[in-house]
Homo-oligomer: A and B are copies of this chain.
């Protein structure tokens, strides 16, 4: 049986050589277009702070840096302080979200929320107030108002270590809804802010503390509550995208992650807006090692938690829908070449009616044989 297949393999190689000689007779049009790799994820930034569940917090520095020139005036200056134009950006996004973007959970009869009112609910909790006094109830009124009447049914998607691809896939709320695709979180996504007492502007544009010795909740005041409130408002089937190729030593599902601390415990278990099924999608980055899969270590732990909470559970590694997006972005990845080669071939046939790629049949056959041998070995 084995030798029979090996014999055929040799025959196939002969065919390949034959094909290659045929292909060489076809015009090889040289082209020298230089194109940049897509690098789509470059446009996505996540500034949700890491969870400070550690006792190793630094002494915060609240010294006023009055000698530093105003970073919101003149030449661009990268700071750790409040984003310049915070108010304008929030208001602009609020209008844009409601009048243009309109994520798929907004129906034509959803009342438009008053953007000025939302901004003022936010501002009243932060402006002139010391950062380290914030806690998990600081922004309650803001979220209550911004998410009033919202239920995301069968379209909610969560991310943990997969910010960029999950947001590409969600399509800014046109395909799925991430936390950041809701009005409440969208207004602040990617922004930084901290109040400052005894300051004419009430915000510190130079430097924000990123942890507080006596109040580890200050950093979670916004994004922790945002995650919790969003989780309370999703229903039906939900999706969770985990990173199965983490290179930082962390597990795919981690106690202390936003998902573990604020999202999973807050899904509704009863009532008309209960979560019924949790679809775990584990992604493996091109050209990075596979660290965890469905059914591995931390994901087994997650499965137990989900089943104990009476939710239906399913886990799938690398769904097709996300594979092409990953490879469309990881342009140079060795593991994506197979798709590029296959599409090149298909489009050369479609557009030119012939193949320009004489290396193609060989690479296709190599792939084919890899499969044969792997299957032989697995039998």
Is the beta-carbon distance between A321 and B331 smaller than 8 angstroms?
yes
CA of A174 to CA of B36 in the docked complex: distance in angstroms?
11
Is the beta-carbon distance between B293 and A351 smaller than 8 angstroms?
yes
**Among the listed B33, B75, B323, which residue makes an inter-chain contact with A279, where contact means beta carbons less than 8 Å apart?**
B33
CA of A42 to CA of B104 in the docked complex: distance in angstroms?
11
Q: Is A56 an interface residue when CB atoms closer than 8 A count as contact?
A: no
Instruction: Please name all residues of chain B whose beta carbon is closer than 8 Å to the beta carbon of A99 when the two chains form the complex.
Output: 72, 76, 83-85
Is the beta-carbon distance between B106 and A171 smaller than 8 angstroms?
no
**Among the listed B31, B325, B351, B378, which residue makes an inter-chain contact with A354, where contact means beta carbons less than 8 Å apart?**
B378
Is the beta-carbon distance between A115 and B317 smaller than 8 angstroms?
no
Q: Is A63 an interface residue when CB atoms closer than 8 A count as contact?
A: no
CA of A326 to CA of B75 in the docked complex: distance in angstroms?
39
Instruction: Please name all residues of chain B whose beta carbon is closer than 8 Å to the beta carbon of A346 when the two chains form the complex.
Output: 335, 338-339, 367
With A8-B15, A42-B174, A364-B367 already in contact, the answer to whether A375 and B355 are too (CB < 8 A) is: yes
Is the beta-carbon distance between B84 and A95 smaller than 8 angstroms?
yes
**Among the listed B317, B325, B353, B367, which residue makes an inter-chain contact with A374, where contact means beta carbons less than 8 Å apart?**
B353
Among residues of B, the one whose C-beta sits closest to the C-beta of A358 is B375
Instruction: Please name all residues of chain B whose beta carbon is closer than 8 Å to the beta carbon of A115 when the two chains form the complex.
Output: 85, 88
Instruction: Please name all residues of chain B whose beta carbon is closer than 8 Å to the beta carbon of A349 when the two chains form the complex.
Output: 370-371, 374
Instruction: Please name all residues of chain B whose beta carbon is closer than 8 Å to the beta carbon of A49 when the two chains form the complex.
Output: none
Is the beta-carbon distance between B96 and A23 smaller than 8 angstroms?
no
CA of A74 to CA of B341 in the docked complex: distance in angstroms?
53
CA of A18 to CA of B341 in the docked complex: distance in angstroms?
26
Question: Which parts of A9-46 form the interface with B (CB within 8 Å)?
Answer: 11-12, 14-15, 18-19, 22-23, 25-26, 31-40, 42-43, 45
Q: How many copies does the complex hold?
A: 2
With A95-B84, A318-B351, A361-B368 already in contact, the answer to whether A171 and B379 are too (CB < 8 A) is: no
With A88-B115, A112-B74, A351-B284 already in contact, the answer to whether A19 and B175 are too (CB < 8 A) is: no
Instruction: Please name all residues of chain B whose beta carbon is closer than 8 Å to the beta carbon of A284 when the two chains form the complex.
Output: 347, 350-351
Q: Is A290 an interface residue when CB atoms closer than 8 A count as contact?
A: yes
Is the beta-carbon distance between B23 and A375 smaller than 8 angstroms?
yes
**Among the listed B14, B40, B169, B352, which residue makes an inter-chain contact with A293, where contact means beta carbons less than 8 Å apart?**
B352
Q: In the assembled complex, how far is the CB of residue A120 from the closest CB belonging to chain B, in whole angstroms?
A: 14
Is the beta-carbon distance between B372 and A19 smaller than 8 angstroms?
yes
CA of A23 to CA of B379 in the docked complex: distance in angstroms?
9
Is the beta-carbon distance between A350 and B85 smaller than 8 angstroms?
no
Question: Which parts of A55-75 form the interface with B (CB within 8 Å)?
Answer: 72-75
Is the contact region of chain A dominated by helix, strand, or loop, or is it mixed? helix
Q: Is A150 an interface residue when CB atoms closer than 8 A count as contact?
A: no
Is the beta-carbon distance between A290 and B374 smaller than 8 angstroms?
no
Q: Is A342 an interface residue when CB atoms closer than 8 A count as contact?
A: yes
Is the beta-carbon distance between A340 and B323 smaller than 8 angstroms?
yes
Among residues of B, the one whose C-beta sits closest to the C-beta of A26 is B378
Instruction: Please name all residues of chain B whose beta carbon is closer than 8 Å to the beta carbon of A39 when the two chains form the complex.
Output: 171, 174-175
CA of A317 to CA of B94 in the docked complex: distance in angstroms?
41
Q: Is A135 an interface residue when CB atoms closer than 8 A count as contact?
A: no
CA of A88 to CA of B115 in the docked complex: distance in angstroms?
10
New A-B pairs, 17, CB < 8 Å, besides A39-B175, A42-B171, A338-B342: A19-B375, A22-B375, A31-B316, A35-B321, A36-B321, A40-B171, A43-B174, A88-B95, A88-B115, A92-B96, A93-B96, A323-B340, A325-B328, A342-B367, A349-B371, A349-B374, A354-B375
A-B pairs with beta carbons under 8 Å apart, 26 shown: A8-B15, A11-B11, A15-B372, A19-B371, A22-B376, A31-B314, A32-B314, A38-B171, A39-B174, A75-B111, A75-B112, A76-B98, A76-B102, A76-B109, A83-B100, A84-B99, A89-B100, A92-B93, A100-B190, A321-B331, A324-B328, A342-B342, A342-B367, A349-B371, A355-B371, A361-B371
